Amino acid sequence: MAPAEIHRRHEHLATLIRAHDYDYYVLANPTISDQEYDRLYRELSELEKEHPDLTTPDSPTQRVGGAPVSEFKPVAHRTPMLSLDNAFSQQEVREFVARVQKLLPQETLEWTVEPKIDGLAVCLRYESGVFTVGATRGDGTTGDDITANLKTIRSIPLKLNVPQNLPLQAPHTVSPLAGSGTGGESLRPAMPALLEVRGEVFLSESGFRRLNEERVSCGDEPFENPRNAAAGSLKQLDSRIVATRPLVAVFYGLGAVDGTPLPSTQAQMLEWLRSLGFKTPDRVWHCATVQELLDAIKELDAVRRSFDYETDGAVIKLNPVPLRDRAGSTSKAPRWSIAYKYAPQQAQTVLSGITIQVGRTGALTPVAELEPVLLSRSTISRATLHNEDELRRKDIRIGDTVIIEKKGEVIPAVVRVVLEKRTGSETCFEFPRSCPACGGAVSRSVHSGETLVVARCGNPDCPAQVRGRIEHWCARGAMDIEGGGEALVSQLVAKGLVKNVADLYELTPESLSRLDRMGEKSAQNFLESVNQSKSQDLWRLVFGLGILHVGSSVAKALARRFKTLEAVGAATVETLTTTEDVGEVIAASVSRWFAIPDNQELIARLRAVGLNFGVEKLESAPGPFLGKTFVLTGTLPSLSREQASAKIEALGGKVTSSVSKKTDFVLAGSDAGSKLEKAERLGVRVIDEAQFLELCRQH
């Protein structure tokens, strides 16, 4: 073909494939067979191989992912990505509407209600219709550049469709309800010179199941839930891995827009986004009164479990966009929108038995074995009972009818017994006095006389403890060894390949080949991750050792104070107690752990294979928070505790776990408990996330 014909054919194929992608991934209505789609895609790919100059950033072939990046670069949001305030009752919805009406006293208010998808918030930037940058929410003002990862998601258009005709309104005029197509001048807006769209990335329920089936078949640990799997996917530095994950994106809002008139209502804005090629919420309700809002929330609750994704609430938005500017925002949330959070779904079933799980520290945890029951679209057959005292306090017996719920829509727990359904045939559970995993003695006290809530097995060679210690060592918050989950660790221990964490560093491809469903590539990836863990910071090593009572904050405090693992091990109980966050119980536990000969041998082996036994990164750098102590409590709107802690430490501050008169700041989120109460009692300054971020920005 002549060059002009080749160019035309390439453009035709790219346009055709984009259209079919939209039909399949956005509309869920494919118009050609998979074989025909593959034929078109292969032809496009071959053309670009023969003529590399034809390849453009918006080509459908650019979704496969590229070489890994070393880190995510920061991206500043042109307009802040605010979080939403929450409502938990009908009365709080009424109060919200009344607040907005007070701000807009002369207006007749209209609303939209959309499903609140349990995913990860993102912002995408398009320049002249081409996707250029995608970022996470981050702290609301700055996020991480995950453009390469987002390009792999098929429901995200790399190039926008030509905008459709759009009814536009004069400023501050309330429009008719959604989709009427009347009430304003109809015109075709230009392609925006710059367009920022906001939305949510998530894993569908069906995609999550397929992904876990594939992981198990490869010998990898299955993901715990769709939200964590989606979050972990977007944090991958290798976009080729992200391309294998069936992620979906839904869009429902705008950031900065330059070069075109804007829709005047939320309903019209969603129509406009759909015409540009974006996937938008499956269902949207349009309401003119408070009662219609409450009815819509109730209807959404009834239908949301038929959606192929997790929803944990309903998002209420003021429909006319010009009125939103007049209503304004607080430092963290818009005043014109709120999220109604549904109560955790509960179910009733029969507790048919109680079993005991043994953890890495020897803790014995009772687990309820349930007659299978459907709850939040999952079949639940087990739930935690926490400990022996909790079991007795709730008077839970084998044979009881119980109420269970998913805490945070994820973790099943027994809430209470349905006493009126007791028949007298139920039996009390006798808590074991010997370990069910190894037969070792079980104790509820330590040598200092402290009575423990949790019963523990005293045998350090207990196979259940061995598995738990190795899983803990591999965990993301400890040494972060990819693939070192329950499925793999159970096999390693059962086949005698690993008896302690040092054995991980002596594994070979040949030894791993003895494991079921362990392919060559999976083995290589696991061993590479094991080798990379040798350079982890000292605090991760201290935490990973699994010393009783030593969490990540204590591990960081020990690393800051003593600088090397040898110095931690050599410290006396008295010296340890002078360390921030370390009391007598923790100090005694640390000292006792390092005195055990088997642990001394373990440390020697870890030193021999080259793990980092010194600390440099945790030195308090000069900064505005130097000498300042923070305590975190509750759930922050946009920051995880790890992200907040990292910001504090980067600016020279310290994060501790308990409030005292020496605490400078308590950073409090929603559901803050006793730490907040203690801070108020002691007169410690309490700040929210918005105030914290402002302190960070000032420096």
What is the tens place of the pLDDT at every residue in 61-88? 776 655 555 678 888 898 889 889 989 8
The beta-strand segments (E) located in 166-310 are: 166-168, 185-187, 194-203, 247-258, 285-287
Q: In this model, does residue 172 exceed pLDDT 50?
A: no
Give the pLDDT score at 552: 82
CA 316 – CA 85 distance, rounded (Å) = 11
Q: In this model, does residue 549 exceed pLDDT 80?
A: yes
Tokens of 48: 């670009």
With tokens 């179910």, the residue in question is: 347
Question: Taking a C-beta distance cutoff of 8 angstroms, is the pair 670, 634 a contact?
Answer: yes
What is the tens place of the pLDDT at every residue in 574-607? 999 888 778 888 999 999 999 999 999 999 999 9
Helix, strand or coil, per DSSP, at residue 20: helix
Give the pLDDT score at 450: 44
Strands 74-76 and 166-168: unpaired
pTM: 0.56
CA 134 – CA 141 distance, rounded (Å) = 14
Strands 411-417 and 442-445: unpaired
Tokens of 307: 């959606």
Enumerate the active-site residues. 116
Give the pLDDT score at 164: 60
Question: Taking a C-beta distance cutoff of 8 angstroms, is the pair 331, 317 a contact?
Answer: no
Burial class for 340, CB neighbours closer than 10 Å (0-12, 13-18, 19+) = buried
Question: Taking a C-beta distance cutoff of 8 angstroms, is the pair 126, 158 a contact?
Answer: no
Give the pLDDT score at 24: 64
Task: Name the residue type at position 340.
Answer: Y
Task: Name the residue type at position 524.
Answer: Q
Give the pLDDT score at 278: 95
CA 406 – CA 594 distance, rounded (Å) = 39
Instruction: State the pLDDT confidence band at 507, using cuts at 50, 70 and 90.
Output: very high
Mean pLDDT of the chain: 85
CA 298 – CA 197 distance, rounded (Å) = 28
Q: In this model, does residue 616 exceed pLDDT 70?
A: no
* Residue 292 neighbours by CB distance under 10 Å: 15
Mean pLDDT for the stretch of residues 100-128: 94
Q: Of 580, 672, 674, 587, whose CA–CA distance to 629 is shortest?
A: 580
Burial class for 684, CB neighbours closer than 10 Å (0-12, 13-18, 19+) = buried
What is the tens place of the pLDDT at every residue in 336-389? 999 999 887 789 999 999 999 998 888 899 999 999 998 866 788 988 888 888
What is the tens place of the pLDDT at every residue in 465-505? 999 999 999 988 899 998 888 889 999 999 999 999 999 99
Residue 470, H or E segment: helix 463-474
CA 255 – CA 198 distance, rounded (Å) = 7
360-370 CB burial, b ≥16 within 10 A, e <16: bbbbbbbbbeb
CA distances from 577 to 353, 562, 580 (A): 43, 12, 8
Give the pLDDT score at 183: 39
What is the tens place of the pLDDT at every residue in 419-457? 999 999 999 999 999 999 999 999 876 444 445 578 889
Instruction: State the pLDDT confidence band at 636, using cuts at 50, 70 and 90.
Output: confident
| Distance between first and last Cα of the chain | 61
Q: What domains appear along the chain, each with residue ranges and CATH number?
A: 3-63 (1.10.287.610), 75-95+105-290+304-337 (3.30.470.30), 629-697 (3.40.50.10190)
Burial class for 489, CB neighbours closer than 10 Å (0-12, 13-18, 19+) = buried
* Residue 258 neighbours by CB distance under 10 Å: 11
